[in-house]
A and B are shown apart, each in its own frame.
Chain A
Amino acid sequence: MHISEHPVLKEKSNEKVFFYFNNHRLEAKKGQTVAAALMANGIRKLGVSRKLSQPRGLYCSNGRCTSCFVTINGLDHVISCTTLVENNMQVFSNNNDPEIRGEKYGN
């Protein structure tokens, strides 16, 4: 949920951004990170872990723990807590290891 009346910070961002998560259209506010925008929409499970396939989500929100990685506009393993959400961004939960060898990377 978005915080509409912050107890301390009165400045508001009202500019809306629309993006997609697993093909669902969602609304966010400009200036929010992808992870926060998903959380504002009630989505906290961002994918599963690589080895045990357990649910994973945002943990440190600082780009250090990398627990919140997703696929953004076709790029695997993007850290969603350090990436700002943009209009028409295509976000998918990233449930596999990234493809690093393949035609699309030229090898």
Chain B
Amino acid sequence: METDLLIIGGGPAGLHAALTADRAGARVVVADESFSLGGQLRQQTQWLSNLPGQYGYGKKRGTWVNEQLINQVGASNVQVLKKHTMIGSYLNGNIGVSDGDKTFEIQSRKNIIAPGAQEEAKVFPGWTLPGVMTAGAAQILINREKVLPGKRAVMVGSNDFSLEVARQLNSCGITVEAIVEEKNQIICSDGELVKTLENVPVYTNSTIEIVTGAGEVEHVVIQTPDGLKEVNVDLVCIANGFSPILEPFEIMNCHFVYQKELGGWLAAYNIHLQTTNPSCYIAGNAAGITDFGSILLTGEIAALSALEAMGFISSAEGTEQKSRCWRELANLESEKVLQARTEMLADYHQKHELDLPDYFMKIKGGKMYG
């Protein structure tokens, strides 16, 4: 198979990148390992704010945005390969994909790799018992699969995502019996969200002592400052944060950097979202764990860079469009993440002796560089 742009990962970043490239006239192939497009957006029923302007201002449900993206891709010339996993690269730089049956290579001029993020596990005695799962898994079950993962749950972790999932579990009729947080207070920054769960006991400075049950979760012991607290539940959800997925970048020999605020290790990239492998661009949560608007915008920047490099758009237009995207991203993204991203970019450019473009230096009135 041969194409201009190959995109690995058909989540929001990959699909938004695909649409950007398709509109400029590039031939685009999107390969995704799942049976349907949308990635983790498929089960985000919550209202998303911080959407880029083109999605209309105001709040939209994640599942609604997902439908829009999939419909637009369906109406475009983008070629979609569902149930195709990137499994390697060839000496000539081509990427190998497999549907489990047939394996073939895709020859592309540029690649955008947008595999997303993975949920971090948390280990305690009993963590492998059926009924212990990530918060993301529980969310997939209720919203995508329409299946209840249990009746009574304990949520481990109190970040924005864990409380959002706890709220959604609750609205499906699952009783959240406890929220367990090892820090000394709730991490979630959304006061309204915290308020929707005000009837749920929150145990801070607490950890899971043990989960037991005959073949599946039946009983949880929580270590709290006031001693052991025992609850009978059949579901334990782990929300221990996300980290970028690395394997496809390893396959493509990309260099990695560590940035705690971006989720840990990730493939290093420059202002054009280009990794140390010049044919590979990065987008979405793989480029640092962030909010939904920034996921879309990194996809757009990566696509614009690839289009510019292939000659589908002029350098002037690329600069103008990317300048707009970065300005928008700087307004949407949380300060901590933006600062970490900026630092990583500045380090990259310094290390590789590349100038940062003027428009980037001027974002936020130049305040990004303190």
Binary per-residue interface labels of chain A (17-56) against chain B in the complex, 1 for a CB within 8 Å, 0 otherwise: 0000000000001001100110110001110010000111
Q: Nearest chain A CB to B164's CB is how many angstroms away? A: 12
Cα A13 to Cα B146 in complex, Å, equals 9
Other-chain contact of A6, B61, B136, B146, B215 (Cβ < 8 Å): B146
Which residues of chain B come closer than 8 Å to A61, judged between CB atoms? 133-134, 136-137, 140-141
B181 adjacent to chain A (CB < 8 Å)? no
A62 adjacent to chain B (CB < 8 Å)? yes
Contact B216 A55 (CB under 8 A): yes
Residues of chain B from 37 to 78 with CB closer than 8 A to chain A in the complex: 45, 61, 63
Other-chain contact of A84, B35, B130, B141 (Cβ < 8 Å): B35
B22 adjacent to chain A (CB < 8 Å)? no
Given contacts A45-B215, A55-B215, A82-B35, contact A62 B137 (CB under 8 A): yes
A3 adjacent to chain B (CB < 8 Å)? yes
Binary per-residue interface labels of chain B (22-38) against chain A in the complex, 1 for a CB within 8 Å, 0 otherwise: 00000000000111000
Residue of A nearest to B133 (CB): A59
Which residues of chain B come closer than 8 Å to A49, judged between CB atoms? 128
Residues of chain B from 139 to 154 with CB closer than 8 A to chain A in the complex: 140-143, 145-149
Which residues of chain B come closer than 8 Å to A84, judged between CB atoms? 35
Which residues of chain A come closer than 8 Å to B177, judged between CB atoms? none
- Name which of B137, B168, B171 has the most chain A CB atoms within 10 A of its CB: B137
Cα A6 to Cα B141 in complex, Å, equals 12
Cα A6 to Cα B147 in complex, Å, equals 10
Other-chain contact of B145, A32, A46, A59, A64 (Cβ < 8 Å): A32
Other-chain contact of B131, A57, A65, A81, A82 (Cβ < 8 Å): A57
Other-chain contact of A60, B33, B45, B131, B134 (Cβ < 8 Å): B134
Q: How many residues of chain B have a CB within 8 Å of chain A?
A: 32
B119 adjacent to chain A (CB < 8 Å)? yes
Given contacts A7-B172, A82-B33, contact A59 B146 (CB under 8 A): no
Contact A62 B61 (CB under 8 A): no
Q: Nearest chain A CB to B44's CB is how many angstroms away? A: 10
Residue of A nearest to B35 (CB): A84
Which residues of chain A come closer than 8 Å to B45, judged between CB atoms? 8-9
Which residues of chain A come closer than 8 Å to B63, judged between CB atoms? 8-9
Given contacts A44-B216, A55-B215, contact A39 B149 (CB under 8 A): yes
Contact A44 B136 (CB under 8 A): no
Which residues of chain B come closer than 8 Å to A1, judged between CB atoms? 147-148
Contact A6 B149 (CB under 8 A): no
Contact B148 A56 (CB under 8 A): no
Which residues of chain A come closer than 8 Å to B273, judged between CB atoms? none
B132 adjacent to chain A (CB < 8 Å)? yes
A95 adjacent to chain B (CB < 8 Å)? no
A2 adjacent to chain B (CB < 8 Å)? yes
B205 adjacent to chain A (CB < 8 Å)? no
Other-chain contact of B134, A33, A46, A57, A59 (Cβ < 8 Å): A59
- Name which of B128, B129, B130, B168 has the most chain A CB atoms within 10 A of its CB: B130
**Lowest 6 A-B CB distances belong to which pairs?**
A57-B130, A61-B137, A36-B145, A44-B130, A7-B171, A8-B45
A residues with CB within 8 A of B: 1-3, 6-9, 13, 29, 32-33, 36-37, 39-40, 44-46, 49, 54-65, 67, 81-82, 84
- Mind listing 8 A-B residue pairs with CB under 8 Å? A3-B142, A3-B146, A8-B45, A39-B147, A39-B148, A59-B132, A61-B136, A62-B118
